[in-house]
A and B are shown apart, each in its own frame.
Chain A
């Protein structure tokens, strides 16, 4: 379904190029749940943004269902069937939750349809559909609404950038159920989740570890997860400032 071939991404910093990702190659087959994990600053979110087209790679090729999408815009990729849940959801003055869900669904859904998406993420629709997606919503509420927009899109490939951030312990099981439900509802759909959470790693079919911009491990959960848990900190030890 999704193939990344030698993806590199470099940014200019202080007049010099800094490599965020180097020659990353991976594939996400149909119907699989792939979790990308690794230390902070390893390039996970950048990789997710490259797949959606929010950033363009400085090298390599991205293919979706066999089609080269490397130079396609965000809109074109969205229309081909890629959905994206932001790590930090965006606020809008004036746009209501119902408006956003309608835009996501691409049609004029009824409040009761919207209710299904909201209750799936643990929100009571009556309290939310007419609220503006503005600063009056808490970080956790925004995050759930963000996930609901991806549910409303019902695409073949959904990417979640740290979906658990801002979701409290009590709602975590609900979040896991959302992913499981998506897999059973949309035939052959694949999910890519950027996450640090062991409970999310536990539901993965495959795990990809990105470290320092390079792919350090990739394989079935059964073989990768035991290597990650119970090991020493993934971070390099801190050196004293001299």
Chain B
């Protein structure tokens, strides 16, 4: 990592968002303050810069198995604002892990913003695990803003699992995810979100099940503390015989506010769609049980939340 001239704050951010302690194995691109500070392509995964806009094309050859791509982003300069377009072309029959994520440290007075627009073109029978963590730190008055846009186009019998977490320090986020699934494709989304202070987080999903046997399972677990606000807007559209499930499970604390907006649209008589939403404070009996084990009320609360967001 030293060869990339990253300072200690940048290294800490990389650890938070990508568990990176050293140069990753496989293909990677590390972006710091709007510059690529390290990039490696492999024989089967090619990373190239886009010519017209800021961003990259990541091409994974058909049949690539058990390889990973790391594309973390860190921002440590106050007042930086950027929009980055990354396109992933995932070849047929491949099986890969993609680890993205963005960490912002803003000690200054100006807002820092990173808007990552990711598009995934998942080939037939391909299998992808996508992990994205967002993290903010720094005590400046400037806001830390992240507005990710994700588009997923899944071909026949492909599989994608998306794990998205934003646990700390991001002041404002407006996340939009669109997915279109062909026959037999399967999408699993696991979102974890915690907001505190005066933070605001909006998360919107629009999942379209277009082919026979397509399925989606979108589950969000979130905690809103202090005076923060969240809106979870999950829409699943069944255009064919398919199955879709969305779930929003939230804990509110202090003066936190959450709006869950379930949306199901069935355009085929064999579309089976389910939505579940539950919002509430931590159950008193859960606190009591942990207190009978010797924990204080505050310790009990921390254990319940960290388990819930695991």
Which A residues contact B (CB, under 8 angstroms)? 52, 54, 73-75, 78-79, 83-84, 86, 89-90, 92-96, 99-100, 103-104, 106, 149, 153
Question: When A99-B307, A103-B303 are in contact, do A93 and B249 touch as well, CB less than 8 Å?
Answer: yes
- Cβ-defined contact, A92 with B292, below 8 A: no
Jot down 5 A-B pairs with beta carbons below 8 A, ordered by A.
A78-B292, A92-B304, A94-B310, A96-B307, A103-B303
* CB under 8 Å from chain A, chain B span 267-310: 283, 285-286, 288-297, 303-304, 306-310
Q: Which residues of A sit under 8 angstroms from B308, Cβ to Cβ?
A: 93-94
Most B CB contacts (10 A, CB to CB) among A73, A89, A103, A106 go to A103
Of the candidates A74, A79, A104, A149, the one having the most CB atoms from chain B within 10 angstroms of its own CB is: A74
**A106–B296 Cα gap in the complex (Å)?**
12
Please indicate the chain A residues that have their CB under 8 angstroms from the CB of B249 in the complex. Answer: 93
- 14 further A-B pairs in the complex, CB-CB below 8 A; given A52-B292, A74-B292, A78-B294: A54-B288, A74-B291, A75-B297, A78-B291, A90-B286, A90-B288, A90-B289, A92-B286, A92-B307, A95-B303, A95-B304, A103-B303, A104-B293, A153-B294
Beta-carbon nearest neighbor of B308 in chain A: A94
CB distance from A77 to the nearest CB of B (A): 8
A79→B303 contact, CB < 8 A? no
**What is the CA–CA distance of A84 and B308 in the complex, to the nearest angstrom?**
24
Once the chains are docked, how many angstroms separate the CA of A94 from the CA of B304?
Answer: 8
Q: What is the 8 Å Cβ interface bit string for chain B, positions 199-229, against chain A (1 contact, 0 not)?
A: 0000000000000000000000100000000
| Interface mask (B81-119 → A, CB under 8 Å = 1, otherwise 0) | 000000000000000000000000000000000000000
Shortest CB distance A151–B (Å): 12
Complex alpha-carbon distance, A78 and B297, angstroms: 12
Mask, B235-276, CB within 8 Å of A = 1, is: 000000000000001000000000000000000000000000
The reply to whether B294 and A106 form a contact with Cβ atoms under 8 Å apart is yes
B169 to chain A, nearest CB (A): 21
What CA separation (Å) do A104 and B309 show in the bound complex? 21
Chain B residues in the interface with A (C-beta under 8 A): 221, 249, 283, 285-286, 288-297, 303-304, 306-310
Q: Contact check, A86 vs B289: say whether CB atoms are below 8 A apart.
A: yes
A95 to B287, CA, bound (A): 13
Q: Are B307 and A93 in contact (CB under 8 A)?
A: yes
Name, among B221, B292, B295, B310, the residue most crowded by chain A CB atoms within 10 Å (CB to CB): B292
B286: nearest chain-A partner, CB-CB: A90
A52 / chain B contacts, CB cutoff of 8 Å: 292
How far does the alpha carbon of A232 sit from the alpha carbon of B101 in the complex, in Å?
71
Which residues of B sit under 8 angstroms from A54, Cβ to Cβ? 288, 292
B289 / chain A contacts, CB cutoff of 8 Å: 86, 89-90
Given A90-B283, A90-B285, A93-B249, is A75 in contact with B291 using a C-beta cutoff of 8 Å?
yes
> Smallest Cβ distance from B164 to chain A, in angstroms?
17
Q: Which of B283, B288, B293, B296 contacts A149 (CB 8 A)?
A: B293
Q: Which residues of B contact A94 (CB under 8 A)?
A: 221, 304, 306-310
Minimum CB–CB distance from A186 to chain B (whole Å) comes to: 16
Task: State how many angstroms separate the Cβ of A20 from the closest Cβ of chain B.
Answer: 18
Name the distance in Å between A192's Cβ and chain B's nearest Cβ. Answer: 14
Q: How far is the CA of A149 from the CA of B290 in the complex (A)?
A: 10
Chain B residues, Cβ within 8 Å of A153: 293-294
Assess whether A75 is in contact with B294, with CB atoms less than 8 Å apart.
Answer: yes
By Cβ-Cβ distance, the 5 closest A-B pairs, closest first, are A94-B307, A95-B307, A74-B291, A78-B294, A90-B289
A103 contacts B293, CB within 8 Å?
yes
The CA-CA distance from A52 to B293 in the complex, in Å, is 11
- Interchain CB contact under 8 A, A103 and B295: yes
CA distance A106 to B294 in the complex (A): 8
A89 to B290, CA, bound (A): 11
B292 contacts across to A, CB distance below 8 A: 52, 54, 74, 78, 83-84
Give the complex CA separation of A83 and B308 in angstroms.
25
Kindly report which residue of chain B lies nearest to residue A152, judged by CB atoms: B293
In Å, the complex CA distance between A75 and B297 comes to 8
Query: Which of B221, B296, B307, B310 has the most CB atoms of chain A within a 10 A radius of its CB?
Result: B307
Is A103 in contact with B290, judged by CB distance below 8 angstroms?
A: yes
In the complex, the chain B residue whose C-beta lies closest to that of A74 is B291
